[in-house]
Amino acid sequence: MFRRLAPTALCIALAACSCVQARPLVDIGVVDRDRGDWLGPIRHRGQDWIEGEPGHRYSVRLTNTTGGRVLVVLSIDGVNAVSGQTAHPSQAGYVLAPWESTEVNGWRKSLDDVAQFVFTDLPDSYAARTGRPDNVGVIGIAVFEEARPFPYEPVPGWRRQAPVARDSADAAKAAAPAAEARSMERDEAAAQSLGTGHGEREWAPASQTGFVRATRSPAQVTQVRYDDYRTLVARGVLPRQPDYRWRGTGPEAFPTGFVADPPR
């Protein structure tokens, strides 16, 4: 698995968890990097939604809420953000130390850099451009606890992004139920408009580390859906703003504007 080291950490707040537990092992949150705002989730029909702004970069913040190491497999639009494979819980992910937070700013290209996450039109999303448009519009994590935890000593000073765990034979065989991995059905109220593009490269150093999963299935699966404002309104996720414009069907007693000079 991979561990990314960054001077700052990025948080996404996802609430839904497939497992019944008092508190999720990992909190997830999304930040609009161009505005510097948290994208707070909106609960609608059992799903969490956030509003993305087309053209804006975003980050996913992962926070380990436990005293042990955890492995977080991050899926963007159904694609593993580390390996680029069609996402599955058995794949590589980021390893978080006890109580650690880290920001993931993009698709991992190497141990040195990532391609930024950018909200973009669905046809221009990385998933659609690689022939996998069916799951565009969702950010998710599968979280595993460690089988043989070891004493953790924090590295003094500047931290890099959480390390990425190396795939092992056991990890490759791990399989979560399909219902957990694909728990959200496509909302038929409106077509998905927004996806995540493959943005510019930026420096995001990471290292590799070993990790043995305590269970074959993830201890936590959390996901949040996203789309642009117009589509969220059409789906009923966001309220339609009242329109106070006069909507007459013929001559209007109060047309807009001022008195113009008559033609000469």
DSSP letter string over 194-251? EEEEEEEEEE--EEEE---BSSSS-SEEEEEEEE-HHHHHHHTSSPPPP--S---SS-
The whole-number pLDDT of residue 256 equals 59
The whole-number pLDDT of residue 258 equals 62
pLDDT at 36 over 80: yes
pLDDT at 186 over 60: no
The model's confidence at residue 174, banded by pLDDT at 50, 70 and 90, is very low
Range with lowest mean pLDDT among 40-44, 60-64, 176-180: 176-180
Question: What's the rounded mean pLDDT across residues 11-20?
Answer: 34
The span from the CA of 36 to the CA of 179, in Å, is 34
**CA 247 to chain CA mean position, Å:** 40
Q: Tell me the two tokens of residue 123.
A: 């046809």
The model's confidence at residue 149, banded by pLDDT at 50, 70 and 90, is low
The whole-number pLDDT of residue 167 equals 53
Q: Tell me the two tokens of residue 96.
A: 């978080």
Higher model confidence: residue 237 or residue 13?
237
pLDDT at 5 over 90: no
Amino acid found at 93: G
The whole-number pLDDT of residue 240 equals 81
The whole-number pLDDT of residue 226 equals 97
The model's confidence at residue 148, banded by pLDDT at 50, 70 and 90, is confident
The whole-number pLDDT of residue 241 equals 73
pLDDT at 109 over 70: yes
Question: What's the rounded mean pLDDT across residues 224-245?
Answer: 84
Amino acid found at 122: L
Three-state SS for 180? helix
The span from the CA of 174 to the CA of 168, in Å, is 10
pLDDT at 88 over 80: yes
The span from the CA of 82 to the CA of 58, in Å, is 16
Work out the percent of the chain whose per-residue pLDDT is above 90: 65
Query: In terms of Cα–Cα distance, which of 19, 183, 168, 179 is closest to 95?
Result: 168
Amino acid found at 239: P
Question: What's the rounded mean pLDDT across residues 124-146?
Answer: 96
pLDDT at 139 over 60: yes
**CA 248 to chain CA mean position, Å:** 44
Query: In terms of Cα–Cα distance, which of 205, 214, 208, 224 is closest to 138?
Result: 224
What b/e sequence results for 177-201 when a residue is b if at least 16 CB atoms lie within 10 Å of its CB, and e otherwise?
A: eeebbbbbeebeeeebbbbbbbbee
The model's confidence at residue 87, banded by pLDDT at 50, 70 and 90, is very high
pLDDT at 246 over 90: no
The whole-number pLDDT of residue 163 equals 76
* pTM confidence score: 0.74
The whole-number pLDDT of residue 251 equals 64
pLDDT at 166 over 80: no
The span from the CA of 258 to the CA of 260, in Å, is 6
Largest CA-CA distance found in the chain, in angstroms, rounded:
91
Higher model confidence: residue 135 or residue 256?
135
DSSP state of 130: T
Question: Which residue in the block uniquely carries the two structure tokens 């001559």?
Answer: 251
